[in-house]
Amino acid sequence: MSLGRHKLGSQGLEVSTIGLGCMGMSQAYGPADEAESIATLHRSIELGCTFLDTAEVYGPFHNEELLGRALKGRRDQVTIATKFGFRIVDSKQSGTDSRPEHIREVVDASLLRLGTDRIDLLYQHRVDPAVPMEDVAGTVGELVAEGKVRFFGLSEAGIANIRRAHAVHPVSALQSEYSLWERNLEPEIIPALKELGIGLVPFAPLGRGFLAGDVKRAEDYPEGDFRRGDPRYQGENFDLNVAAAATVRDIADAKGVKPGQIAIAWLLAKGPDFGIDIVPIPGTKRRTYLEENVAAADITLDATEMLGLDMALTPDKVSGPRYNERTMSLVDR
């Protein structure tokens, strides 16, 4: 079992067909386990899942440091994506900051933590309404010219800002939430990505675990777990969403695979359907789940199964907003 390669965008970036989201190794999904996280990163490389996604704000800082330790002697075997764009005060996220001088400070600090001389894919984590996108793209372009960054990406940007950035420095990838569970990109953003030749990197491809099947109500997760505050895990929303996700479980059972693998296989099939490059980055901090996620690349869904999944989880059948109001306010829509 070893993954193939996939292009992202039109500038020459090539990554593994499925990536690994590393955030959960340091925050949001229960207590950290550094030994298992490092073992998971090493196993990921063995499996050919070499597109690793982190950010300065994960931890903050701990996640990049973890990758730096895990990748000693292995740097040239992986593609590292990290992100700038938040103000961090007293180890907590405190609004956005994409001023050019701050971008440079973050990149230099990220390079030190990661133990590398270049960032393969640098994303603006969230659009900063106080800084013109042209200034952001121009600064990243300078960092590319200096060799500190190889490719430029955006995260959760809207169409206007994608176009403004791309006009100054080519955008290779947009990272945004997209899954069977969350289809907000389909009407406008995905057609724009096709037009501009920009790849899509869906985060939360398993609906923050909901599509993996073994879910609990919000209140049953421990303190510090992101899902305690996820509206889709709460109250009546939870019951309705369990019912909506039943088709994923049914198709998985019929094929003898896991529900989460079906969700990833659906995403991989959507790339050719839409005519864009799609590389999902399911997050995990355990080798068992990593191996399941990577194996999804070998699952084929026929037209009937794809249609059944499309219809089962149309936006009107998923209950509750994807974020609370504060987090949603950072999405550029």
Mean pLDDT of all residues belonging to the chain:
94
Q: What burial letters (b/e) apply to 250-266, b meaning 16+ CB within 10 Å? A: ebbeeeebbbbbbbbbb
Give residue 204's domain range: 5-210+263-299
- Comparison of pLDDT for 218 and 202, the residue scoring more: 202
Does 28 score more than 70 pLDDT?
Answer: no
Residue 122 is predicted with a pLDDT of: 99
Active site residue 233: no
Residue 88 domain-assigned (yes or no): yes
Query: Which among 306, 286, 282, 285 is positioned nearest to 294, based on CA atoms?
Result: 282
Percent of the chain clearing pLDDT 90 (strictly above) = 82
Residue 49 domain-assigned (yes or no): yes
Distances 237 to 76, 197, 318, 331 between C-alpha atoms, Å: 44, 37, 8, 22
Residue 324 domain-assigned (yes or no): no
Residue 235 domain-assigned (yes or no): no
Is the link from the previous residue into 222 a cis peptide, with omega within 30 of 0?
no
Residue 10 domain-assigned (yes or no): yes
Question: Structural domain tally of the chain?
Answer: 1
CA–CA gap between residue 209 and residue 120 (Å, rounded): 28
Residue 175 is predicted with a pLDDT of: 98
Percent of the chain clearing pLDDT 70 (strictly above) = 98
Residue 330 is predicted with a pLDDT of: 87
Outline where DSSP puts E strands in 5-54. 5-8, 13-16, 20-21, 51-53
Q: How many CB atoms lie within 10 A of CB 273?
A: 12
Query: Which among 253, 246, 255, 232 is positioned nearest to 311, based on CA atoms?
Result: 246
At residue 2 the predicted structure's pLDDT band, cuts being 50, 70 and 90, is: low
At residue 1 the predicted structure's pLDDT band, cuts being 50, 70 and 90, is: low
CA–CA gap between residue 320 and residue 27 (Å, rounded): 23
Set 29, 58, 221, 289: catalytic member: 58
Residue 248 domain-assigned (yes or no): no
At residue 30 the predicted structure's pLDDT band, cuts being 50, 70 and 90, is: low
Per mean pLDDT, which range of 16-30, 123-137, 298-312 is the poorest? 16-30
Question: What are the structure tokens assigned to 178, written together?
Answer: 């997209």
At 38-82, the pLDDT tens digits run: 999 999 999 999 999 999 999 999 999 999 999 999 999 999 999
162 and 123 in contact (C-beta within 8 Å)?
no
At 154-199, the pLDDT tens digits run: 999 999 999 999 999 999 999 999 999 899 999 999 999 999 999 9
Distances 149 to 6, 16, 82, 107 between C-alpha atoms, Å: 20, 19, 10, 9
What is the model's pTM? 0.96
8 and 152 in contact (C-beta within 8 Å)?
no
At residue 149 the predicted structure's pLDDT band, cuts being 50, 70 and 90, is: very high
Does 208 score more than 90 pLDDT?
Answer: no
Residue 267 domain-assigned (yes or no): yes
CA–CA gap between residue 30 and residue 224 (Å, rounded): 6
Average pLDDT over every residue of 120-135: 98
Per mean pLDDT, which range of 36-40, 92-96, 110-114, 290-294 is the poorest? 92-96
Residue that the structure tokens 């003898």 belong to? 256
Residue 203 CA, chain-centre distance (Å), reads 3
**Domain CATH code at residue 29:** 3.20.20.100
Residue 225 is predicted with a pLDDT of: 81
Question: What are the structure tokens assigned to 278, written together?
Answer: 């799609």
Q: Is 226 helix (H, G, I), strand (E, B) or coil?
A: helix
At 84-104, the pLDDT tens digits run: 999 999 888 889 999 999 999
Residue 234 domain-assigned (yes or no): no
Does 29 score more than 90 pLDDT?
Answer: no
Residue 80 is predicted with a pLDDT of: 98
Does 202 score more than 90 pLDDT?
Answer: yes
CA–CA gap between residue 16 and residue 12 (Å, rounded): 13
Question: What are the structure tokens assigned to 79, written together?
Answer: 């593609």
Helix boundaries (H) for the chain: 34-46, 62-70, 100-114, 133-146, 159-168, 189-196, 235-244, 246-255, 259-274, 287-295, 303-312, 325-328
